[in-house]
Amino acid sequence: MLSKLDQKQGNSALYFKIYPVLPAQVRSKLPYPISGDDIKALTLDHIRQTRRLSKDQVQTLADRVVRLRNPRLRMMGFRIILMKFQTDPAFLKLCRRLLHETHPGIRLEAAISLAESAIASDPGEPALAGILLSALESKEMRAPDLDLVWYRYGQQPPGGSGRFALPPTPPGFPRPPDPDDALRSMIITALDRLEPYLSQSQKDRFKKAAPNFPFTIGH
């Protein structure tokens, strides 16, 4: 399964476009289109269901997640490692690598996890506080993270495109929490863990961006 994350598989975007317009008789003789990203997403889901991986296998998984071209897959892989292997040394190493990742949503997720593990990691990582503070100050900076939450199968390459929308709340049921509010709370909690390592200017930004947060005297 780990080797599949590095393999080039699946059908091209051209095949996805041609297949639906072919006569039914022709389509019946051809394989149904599937993107390479969908194959990798299925592989990641199988890995998620695997009970145990050795330390070497966890490190291999982390190395291959970083190399996935689709950011939705990188986010999926990151969250699987977070969920199943958070205590493995490979996880914090992965978080540090992803602080310099190209997609801002994945950078933010890595920064939150690294800050929450501040005691066991390096709280002085230069990029860490800046990523969290910028996301706390701006909803637009949080949006890329929320955009990667959902992966849709069956899309033409690259797979998984399309942002997930919450379905309407049925009458009489409580409204689910706003995803952006939940993400903002996670950022505040992460920054609170980092507070002893923030500069005075960073503490001031934190207070200004979260005026209702119950800061202690030490803040």
40-74 per-position pLDDT tens digit: 999 999 999 998 899 999 999 999 999 999 999 99
Residue 122 in domain: yes
Least confident of 39-43, 98-102, 173-177, 194-198: 173-177
Quote the domain boundaries for residue 14: 3-164+176-209
Residue 170 in domain: no
- List Cβ neighbours of 148 (8 Å cut-off, separation of 6 or more): 71, 72, 75, 103, 105, 106
Residue 49 in domain: yes
pTM higher than 0.95, yes or no? no
CA distance 8 to 30: 20
Residue 144 in domain: yes
Give residue 219's pLDDT.
Answer: 47
Proportion of the chain above pLDDT 70, given as a percent: 89
Tell me: pLDDT of 217 over 50: no
Q: How many domains does the chain have?
A: 1
Answer yes or no: are the C-beta atoms of 128 and 115 closer than 8 Å: yes
Tell me: pLDDT of 37 over 90: yes
